Amino acid sequence: MDRVSLLWRLRRRARRGAFCMGFFCVSMALLYALCAENSVPVTDAIFGVRARTRAQPRTHSVVKVLRGGAKPLYADPQKLPGVIPGNPNRPIPVLSSPNHTQEVRDPASKKKTRARESGFFAWLLPRPFRRALETLFGARRRGELSEVVGETDFFRSRSSKGEVWDEEMSSSMLGSRLRKVVQNYQAMNKYGVENTGPGGVASRPKLSGPELLCRLKSQVQVLTLTPDLQPFASLSWSSQLPVESVTSELGPYKRCAVVSSAGSLRNAGLGKEIDSHDAVLRFNAAPTSGYEKDVGSKTTIRLINSQVMASDDHRFLSSSLYSSGVLVGWDPAPFSANLSQWYNKTDYPIFAQYQRYRRLHPLQPFYIIHPRFEWQLWQQIQDSMAEPIQKNPPSSGLLGTVLMMSLCDVVHVYEFLPSRRKTELCHYYQRFYDAACTLGAYHPLLYEKNLVKRMNQGTDRDIHTHGRVTLPGFGSLNCTRAPGQSPGH
């Protein structure tokens, strides 16, 4: 009898174990599917770790460099955790000029939220599952901007009025988590940035749009690497570099389009308008195939960062996406723009990938931006702002915009300043939601948008309906100051 009882108990335990294992496997598969759909890492969902924003680079994403072995990585501020991916159904609520809101919350709403999160059925679930559900569907799933008063209803009431980006946007208007990320980057100084201008203080002189344009024309030199520069002149592969800088070999064009990768380009219907330009610049891995109706099909120049060049995920050496048009690559460098220091310690292996690509496509024009251009532009952003900005290089968006201003008579920039289609969707070709893609984390993107808004020569209606900013080319600017007239007129 005891043996029968023992066998019965063992069988029952085996059945329970198999059931529990099956339930665990099904639950983890479901959790993985949910995380993949919402772009949240599984470990982050289980343990409540904040998801990294895609608006900042990831040093650890670089795989082995061919023939060079594994590249030793060093700790840097790019590993700083970012913000939690935002809610795809919640528009960005801080763009209109009267929207200088403070973080004042209703205590009653906090109590309701706490009571809802601490319901009876919630405590029946194990703690990892509760955290996963909170990350995926609760407060941690919301974007940074959901912490600002007013949220959806507040902004929708102003959106109908056609109000657009406020050129006085400040980091104090962000949610607490994203504001903390920005402050951390302001405090870090990986690239040895030294602010030598009047910016970063509330008393700084505020320049008008025409004055800013003329400052950019005179103070920012759009340069690319040439084989006569050291240390490249002494390297065996220097002949792969273009003999002249990009501004000497391309253009001039009459009308140019700079097409951002913003998610708000979805359903924009701007394809024909974009393709009507003489030259079109696109960024990184942004495709046109399948999105022609919204973003067009023409690509004259593609600006790519070194992270895209180095990551196997983007198949830089083999994808046909990069094999047409003109390529322009860039990588952050020390603020001093010491080319020898930069060459020996790039953020990503841009030069190794450049050589490999040039061997595969020797006839395709391929330029590399001189880091002096990046930091001269950074200095102009800082000089125009009343608070310190991140001590990291400008975004590809602004670099590409200024590059095209040096090549074209008129430049139209699409969805750099969000239109009425604004969304927390990062890119029109991906399903990832993060408010930092609009407001910046690693890059001083918020301040770049302030700068572009002030320089815009188009109307607010153009921004609101088409996401279109109009900027003059440097060649068409008249910066001689006439009596009683501001520069640029």
* pLDDT tens figures, 180-236: 888 888 788 888 888 777 777 777 778 899 999 999 999 999 999 999 999 999 999
Rounded average pLDDT over 32-36? 57
Q: What is residue 123's predicted lDDT score, i.e. its pLDDT?
A: 55
**For residue 3, is pLDDT > 70?**
no
Which overall architecture, per CATH, does domain 49-99+106-482+485-489 show?
Alpha-Beta Complex (3.90)
Quick one: how far is CA 437 from the chain centroid? 5
Strand partners, 256: 279, 411
Q: What is residue 32's predicted lDDT score, i.e. its pLDDT?
A: 64
Q: Is 355 exposed, middle or buried (0-12, 13-18, 19+ CB in 10 A)?
A: middle
Rounded average pLDDT over 129-139? 52
Q: What is residue 252's predicted lDDT score, i.e. its pLDDT?
A: 94
3-state SS class at 187: helix
Residue bearing the bigger pLDDT, 245 or 36 = 245
CB proximity list for 115: less than 8 A, separation 6 or greater: none
Top-ranked range on mean pLDDT: pick from 72-86, 148-162, 441-455: 441-455
Residue bearing the bigger pLDDT, 197 or 294 = 294
Q: What is residue 161's predicted lDDT score, i.e. its pLDDT?
A: 53
Q: Is 351 exposed, middle or buried (0-12, 13-18, 19+ CB in 10 A)?
A: buried
Q: Which two tokens stand for residue 364?
A: 């395709």
Rounded average pLDDT over 160-172? 77
Confidence of residue 126 (pLDDT cuts 50, 70, 90): low
pLDDT digits (tens, 9 = 90+) for 97-125: 332 223 333 444 444 444 444 455 455 56
Phi, psi (deg, nearest 5) at residue 296: 80, 180
**For residue 487, is pLDDT > 60?**
no
pLDDT digits (tens, 9 = 90+) for 314-331: 999 999 999 989 999 999
**For residue 401, is pLDDT > 60?**
yes
Confidence of residue 163 (pLDDT cuts 50, 70, 90): confident
Rounded average pLDDT over 258-265? 95
Residue bearing the bigger pLDDT, 75 or 300 = 300
Handedness of CA 409, 415, 417, 420 (dihedral sign): positive
CB proximity list for 401: less than 8 A, separation 6 or greater: 258, 411, 413, 416, 452, 471
Q: Is 124 exposed, middle or buried (0-12, 13-18, 19+ CB in 10 A)?
A: exposed
Confidence of residue 45 (pLDDT cuts 50, 70, 90): very low
Q: What is residue 2's predicted lDDT score, i.e. its pLDDT?
A: 65
CB proximity list for 104: less than 8 A, separation 6 or greater: 149
Q: What is residue 354's predicted lDDT score, i.e. its pLDDT?
A: 96
CB proximity list for 259: less than 8 A, separation 6 or greater: 265, 274, 280, 281, 282, 283, 286, 295, 296, 414, 415
- Percent of residues, the chain, with pLDDT higher than 70: 70
Confidence of residue 351 (pLDDT cuts 50, 70, 90): very high
**What is the strand order of the sheet 408-414 is part of?**
366-368, 326-330, 301-305, 279-283, 253-259, 408-414, 468-472
Rounded average pLDDT over 269-292? 96
When the pLDDT of each residue in the chain is averaged and rounded to a whole number, the result is: 77
Residue bearing the bigger pLDDT, 357 or 483 = 357
3-state SS class at 328: strand
> Cα dihedral angle (454, 457, 463, 467), rounded to 10 degrees?
-100
Rounded average pLDDT over 442-456? 94
**For residue 282, is pLDDT > 50?**
yes
Tokens 């030199």 correspond to what residue?
A: 221
**For residue 37, is pLDDT > 50?**
no
Q: What is residue 33's predicted lDDT score, i.e. its pLDDT?
A: 60
Q: What is residue 14's predicted lDDT score, i.e. its pLDDT?
A: 85
Based on its alpha-carbon atoms, the radius of gyration of the chain, rounded to whole angstroms, reads 25
Q: Of 293-297, 311-315, 424-428, 435-439, which gets the smallest average pLDDT?
A: 435-439
Confidence of residue 54 (pLDDT cuts 50, 70, 90): very low
**For residue 178, is pLDDT > 70?**
yes
